[in-house]
Amino acid sequence: MSDDEKAEFDDVRMRGFSARHTVEQALAWIDGRTRPLDAVDVPLERAAGRVLATRIISDVDVPGFDRATMDGYAVVAESTQGATAYNRLPLVVIGDALPAQPFEGSVAAGQAVRIMTGAPMPAGADAVLPAEWIEEKTAAGDRHVAALASVSPGKHVGRTGEDIRRGTTPFEPGRLLRPQDLGVLSSIGVRDVPVFRQPTVRLIVTGNELLPAGSPPHGHQIADANGPMLTALVERDGGLVDFPGLVHDERGAILNGLRSGADIVIVSGGSSVGIEDHAPALVAAHGELAIHGIAMRPSSPTGLGRIDRSLVFLLPGNPVSCLCGYDFFAGRALRALGGRTRSWPYQSVRAPLARKISSPIGRLDYARVQLVEGIVEPLAIGGAAVLSSTTRADGFVIVPADSEGFAAGTGVNVWLYA
């Protein structure tokens, strides 16, 4: 930003916002400045919960050989046709096959090889007769069994490549890796997994009235609620949190945090129109304050900008406003940088309203609601300082800026916190 542009900064302290940006403008600004970070390799055992950065192509078949999927006897299926408990068909056992210890010979009609689950199928055999369908027999000089049931060709046999074929793609970039995905990666010989780098996030929680999280409130001071809440939200969305502690409402201390070099800086408090709300002016003076003031409730004092290489999100200090601003803006940027979907990590359900939700045209509203026997019961739109409204709520409903709200009985989408 040039000196002339910085001189045009609209200092809203003690005056209020003359105009507000739309939510859509704020989202467009974020989306134009966020793409996945560089890729890094992490050991397989640490890859769960990370986002895959490149396409994975298997160099091997899984399994790499035909194998038994039951304990029993490898046979030529035709040798068992017609076998029942009343028509036992004899088989001569010519050997054993164990996992990693194959039978080296070949099985002919009327013969069988005792085989364990996972062992390679012997040459000539095309099915496995389960152990419970076999009757053991003893005869001088030979091992004999009798088939009590029949099997068809291929029965209880895991074929080469039936799980994963050589040259196929088990996973595409952008996949959030789950524990079972690590099993697949291991099965095709991937030892180090290419994932997107986790974004670093500096938290600046301001307020001279704040005590460290979990402290008993006393006098005119209150315990920090936003620090632990934001830490959990950032970790949920794949970020690495740097939260050195509370910051006093003092320009130098706030500026020091803003210039931390993190991928994202989130400021909680000091973003509105109070005389000690220094953060917007600091961002404008030392970087770019692109957006300040958004037509939404709660979280209207939210600001977006940049300092050095960091994206900066100025969130209100009121806890519900802070949560709303994070979910709409900071969380979206964080997820995009980490290669995750930009959209909310919440499931939604559609259900009818118990009573109306009113909202003025021109402002998006974030209404906390409960679901009671499949009916949506509104709790609050305002009350930005009442964080417990979000814990009583099952989720929230968004009233768009071009709507005056929803009438009782209207079906609405509820975004579920859980």
Going by C-alpha positions, the residue among 333, 214, 313, 218 that lies closest to residue 269 is 313
CATH topology match: 3-37+197-337 vs 348-416: no
User: What are the pLDDT digits (tens) for 357-401?
Assistant: 999 999 999 999 999 999 999 987 666 667 777 788 999 999 999
pLDDT value, residue 169: 97
Give the integer Cα–Cα distance in Å for 414 and 349.
5
Chain centroid, CA 355 distance in Å = 34
Structure tokens belonging to residue 31: 């989306």
pLDDT at 2: 41
pLDDT recorded at residue 359: 93
Instruction: Note the CATH number of domain 67-158.
Output: 2.170.190.11
CATH homologous superfamily for the domain 39-62+173-196: Molybdopterin biosynthesis moea protein, domain 2 (3.90.105.10)
Compute the distance between CA of residue 85 and CA of residue 179 in angstroms, rounded to an integer. Answer: 44
How many whole angstroms separate alpha carbon 337 and alpha carbon 315? 19
Q: What averages of pLDDT result for each successive group of 10 residues across the chain (418 residues)?
A: 47 62 97 97 97 98 96 97 95 96 96 97 98 80 87 97 96 97 98 98 93 90 93 97 94 93 94 76 95 94 96 94 96 98 96 95 94 92 69 93 96 94
pTM for this predicted structure? 0.86
CATH of domain 3-37+197-337: 3.40.980.10
pLDDT, tens only, 164-201: 999 999 999 999 999 999 999 999 999 999 999 999 99
Residue 256 pLDDT: 94
Cβ-contact 232, 239 below 8 angstroms: no
Q: Is 388 exposed, middle or buried (0-12, 13-18, 19+ CB in 10 A)?
A: exposed
Q: Is the peptide bond before 63 cis (omega within 30 degrees of 0)?
A: yes
Q: List the domain boundaries for the chain.
A: 3-37+197-337, 39-62+173-196, 67-158, 348-416
pLDDT in tens, 193-236: 999 999 999 999 998 889 989 999 999 998 999 999 999 999 99
What is each CA distance from 256 to 207, 226, 250, 268, in whole angstroms?
16, 20, 10, 15
Q: Is 82 left (phi over 0), alpha (psi -120 to 50) or beta?
A: left
Fold of 348-416: Beta-clip (2.40.340)
CA distance 302 to 1: 20
Determine the pLDDT at residue 137.
74
Indicate left, alpha or beta for 392 from its phi (over 0: left) and psi (-120 to 50: alpha): alpha
pLDDT at 391: 81
